[in-house]
Amino acid sequence: MSRSVLLGVVLFALLSACRGGVVQSGDPLEAMAKRFESAPAMPLLGPGPYPVGSSNLEAVLPAGPIVDYLKGARFEGRPRYLNELLKHPASALQFDARLPTSPTRVIGIFEGQPLPVVLYAFYPTSAANTRADYAFPYADTADNVLPRMQSATEKPIFAADKAQYPLIVYSPGYDAHCLWDADHMKVLAAQGYIVACVFYGGGRADWMGNLGMRPIVLRQAIDYLLDHPDYRAAIDRNRIGISGSSFGGYTVLSVLGGQRRHDLPSMADERVKAGFATVPAFDRTEYFLAYGLGEIQ
pLDDT in tens, 209-255: 888 899 999 999 999 999 999 999 999 999 999 999 999 999 999 99
Single-letter code of the amino acid located at 194: I
Average pLDDT over residues 45-74: 93
Residues 6+ apart with CB under 8 A from 259: 266, 288, 289, 291, 292, 293, 295
**Cα–Cα distance, 143 to 120 (Å, whole number):** 13
Residue-averaged pLDDT of the chain: 85
CA distance 271 to 20: 35
Rounded (10°) angle between helices 207-227 and 247-255? 60
Band the pLDDT of 105: cuts 50, 70, 90.
low
Q: Nearest to residue 145, comparing CAs of 136, 154, 132?
A: 136
Grade residue 45 by pLDDT with cuts at 50, 70 and 90. confident
- The mean pLDDT of 174-185, rounded to a whole number, is 91
Phi, psi (deg, nearest 5) at residue 126? -95, 150
Handedness of CA 20, 25, 31, 37 (dihedral sign): positive
Number of neighbouring beta carbons within 10 Å of residue 100: 11
CATH number of 45-295, picked from 2.130.10, 1.10.3470, 3.40.50, 2.60.40: 3.40.50
